[in-house]
Amino acid sequence: MTTSLAHVVDGPEDAPVVLMGSSLGTDRRMWEHAAGVLARRYRVVRYEHRGHGATATPEVEGPVTIDDLGADVVALMDSLGIARAHHVGLSLGGMLASWTAQHHPERVDRLVIACSSSWTDTAQPWRERAATVRAQGLGAIVDPVVARWFTPDLDDAGVRADLRERFLACDPEGYAQACDAIATMDLRPGLARIAAPTLVVAGAADEATPVGKAEETVRGIRGGGGDVRLEVVDGAAHVAAVEQAGVVTGLIVEHLDAGRPEIARGQAVRRAVLGDAHVDRARGRQTALDTDFQDLITRYAWGDVWARPGIDRRMRSALTLALLAALGHEGELAMHVRAALRNGLTVDEIREVLLHTGLYAGVPVSNQAFAIATRVLRDEGLLDGPHPHDG
């Protein structure tokens, strides 16, 4: 039998749907940061597993399987009239996203599997955990379980306390049913059937589902010719969507946006010009406040103007350097000196651009621009000597 999963829906009614499943022992609020960003242009549905959050625990006669929990997700889609959606899940949520992509590929657009596993090495620990929770309650296991969710570097006691409280709020029987399902889970045979473009995310310090588990999932999908990539998030353990919320959200947004041609083109040009490191940092800082602005930049600045064929990127970089210097946009200038190098400008050509700018925009403008460019070029190992003096 299926269970009616509690859920919340955010975002425009006519937007593409993103279905988000959380980890064992948490609720929909685990995805708070990501949902706030995604809901600016997606219809975000965050659901809660049996006995988690506001979802009731059904009475069952025998052990629950991963098929039962997966059927809950499909039933939720049916109840909401969702024919097809992007599926995003962490831990148990990732297992169910993978299950859906294997058994109902027609209902999955793009797929994100985070901090998860495709099979259980040993069933006994999960059976023992289920038995302990049924007999003694969640308090008997809460501290060792939650301790593995975060790295020691996370010094936010409030976050730890909040997740601990949510864990204890779960229904022990619902939690135990999920443990039973994980104990017998083996999704490996179906990985090669996954056709949806897939992003697999792993926490570099995740002990519960180590990076090796993510690599195994990637190999299985790739073995069937699937479009899949792996991203390992530094400074994150098992609940990476909370500990490194900005980074994980950025990865999800970029993966889902890759299905939108007007965004994908801009993303590709932006990375080619500014470099992966810069774009990754910008994605990691993205919030619900600036999502629309980031979308604007990607679509129009990078997808339209920078992608136009009329002039090459070397000339666009030269023009950009001159304009940023003349307008006093010093915060952007250093970034575009690096971009100019990526686009093929030489140190001599950068010097000539800034010299020419001073002729028409003023000596003080060039003076400051040369100081900024000197710092960048020295950092890149392309220039020796002291910084230019003011004057």
DSSP state string for 215-233: HHHHHHHHHTT--EEEEEE
In this structure, are 268 and 253 located in the same domain?
Answer: no
Per-residue pLDDT tens over the stretch 94-135 = 999 999 999 999 999 999 999 999 999 899 999 999 999 999
Per-residue model confidence (pLDDT) at position 7? 98
The CATH number of residue 78's host domain is: 3.40.50.1820
Residues linked to residue 7 through DSSP beta bridges, in sequence order: 47
Using DSSP's 3-state secondary structure scheme, residue 68 falls into: helix
> Which helix or strand (DSSP H or E) is residue 168 part of?
helix 157-169
In this structure, are 135 and 235 located in the same domain?
Answer: yes
The verdict on residue 36 lying in a domain is yes
What is the band of 262 on the pLDDT scale with cuts at 50, 70, 90? confident
Lowest mean pLDDT among 159-173, 220-234, 251-265: 251-265
Q: Among 308, 329, 345, which residue terminates a domain?
A: 308
Per-residue model confidence (pLDDT) at position 389? 44
In this structure, are 126 and 213 located in the same domain?
Answer: yes
Q: Among 230, 259, 288, which residue terminates a domain?
A: 259
For residue 357, count other CB atoms closer than 10 A to its CB: 21
Whether the Cβ atoms of residue 45 and residue 73 lie closer than 8 Å to each other? no
The CATH number of residue 332's host domain is: 1.20.1290.10
Q: Tell me what percent of the chain is helix, strand and coil, each rounded to the nearest 5.
A: 55, 10, 35
Per-residue model confidence (pLDDT) at position 267? 87
The verdict on residue 255 lying in a domain is yes
Average pLDDT, the chain: 94
**Look-up of token digits 């299985």:** 220
What is the band of 385 on the pLDDT scale with cuts at 50, 70, 90? low
Whole-angstrom Cα distance, residue 373 to residue 354?
Answer: 9
Residue 1 pLDDT > 80: no
In this structure, are 116 and 216 located in the same domain?
Answer: yes
Residue 342 pLDDT > 90: yes
For residue 238, count other CB atoms closer than 10 A to its CB: 28
In this structure, are 191 and 104 located in the same domain?
Answer: yes
Residue 388 pLDDT > 70: no
The verdict on residue 337 lying in a domain is yes
* Residue span of the structural domain in which 269 resides: 262-308
Lowest mean pLDDT among 88-97, 292-301, 340-349: 292-301
The verdict on residue 391 lying in a domain is no
End-to-end CA distance of the chain: 79
Per-residue model confidence (pLDDT) at position 391? 41
The verdict on residue 2 lying in a domain is no
Q: Among 245, 276, 308, which residue terminates a domain?
A: 308
Whole-angstrom Cα distance, residue 325 to residue 318?
Answer: 11
Residue of higher predicted confidence among 277 and 222: 222
In this structure, are 318 and 266 located in the same domain?
Answer: no
Residues linked to residue 108 through DSSP beta bridges, in sequence order: 85
In this structure, are 225 and 276 located in the same domain?
Answer: no
The verdict on residue 389 lying in a domain is no
The verdict on residue 269 lying in a domain is yes
Residue 250 pLDDT > 60: yes
DSSP state string for 308-363: -SSS-HHHHHHHHHHHHHHHT-HHHHHHHHHHHHHTT--HHHHHHHHHHHHHHH-H
* Phi, psi of 230, rounded to the nearest 5 degrees: -110, 135
Number of folded domains that form the chain = 3
The verdict on residue 65 lying in a domain is yes
DSSP state string for 70-83: HHHHHHHHHHTT-S
In this structure, are 254 and 266 located in the same domain?
Answer: no
Per-residue model confidence (pLDDT) at position 2? 82
In this structure, are 178 and 277 located in the same domain?
Answer: no
Lowest mean pLDDT among 42-56, 319-333, 375-389: 375-389
Whether the Cβ atoms of residue 366 and residue 358 lie closer than 8 Å to each other? yes
In this structure, are 102 and 126 located in the same domain?
Answer: yes
In this structure, are 205 and 118 located in the same domain?
Answer: yes
Residue 390 pLDDT > 50: no
In this structure, are 324 and 198 located in the same domain?
Answer: no
